[in-house]
Amino acid sequence: MSIENVDTDQIIPARFLKATTREGFGDNLFRDWRYDKAGNPKEDFVLNQDKYSGSILVAGKNFGSGSSREHAAWAISDYGFRVVVSSFFADIFKNNSLNNGLLPVQVSEAFLQTIFDMVEADPGTEIEVNLEQQQISIAGTDHAETFEINPYKKECMLNGYTDIDFLISIKDKIVAFEQSRT
């Protein structure tokens, strides 16, 4: 999806934030770009085109800007993506993704353009992401890059740990901290 500055209002419009559970947001992913007013799929939007498939979303720079709605990460995950690739991510979205097992992979602008060019030329092009090795590569070519990820977050992602489990495990320290302040 070669569009820059994709904000979270596009990823999941506000009118879908009335839900009180985490399910079903995938149906409304990019709602107003995917469907017209009458609810018919828009032919020119990438998600509606059969020639593309897979669990990696590749997007233009500054992905996920705007609102802190974690529902954006839920929608992308629920739709079936496991990785988002871009040359730049907004902070809050990046954090929300990491907290939900959705991997944000930041690549150089040049590499991103290479992906777009190759996929444009051949929609069957395969992208591979290896979290353990922090590598992203275009299958069958020499094109590859390593990506950064915070070691703690990587550990959590690989093992399915959540921050909240960690925080609960140090509750005694938190109480001690509160007492030390009074």
Among 43, 110, 164, 179, binds other proteins (CB under 8 A): 164
- DSSP H or E segment with residue 144: strand 144-146
83-86 sheet: strands from edge to edge: 56-58, 83-86, 103-106
Residue pair 115/139 in contact (Cβ under 8 Å)? The answer is: no
Q: Is 147 in the site for other proteins (CB under 8 A)?
A: no
Tell me the per-residue interface mask from 38 to 67 with other proteins, x by CB under 8 A, - otherwise. ----------------------xxx--xxx
Q: Which of 66, 61, 56, 49 is nearest to 8 (CA)?
A: 66
136: left (phi over 0), alpha (psi -120 to 50) or beta: beta
Q: Which stretch binds other proteins (CB under 8 A): 5-13, 44-52, 124-132, 140-148?
A: 5-13
The footprint of other proteins (CB under 8 A) covers: 3-5, 7, 9-10, 13-15, 17-22, 32, 37, 60-62, 65-71, 73, 88-92, 95-96, 99-100, 150-153, 162-164, 166-168, 170-171, 173-174, 177-178
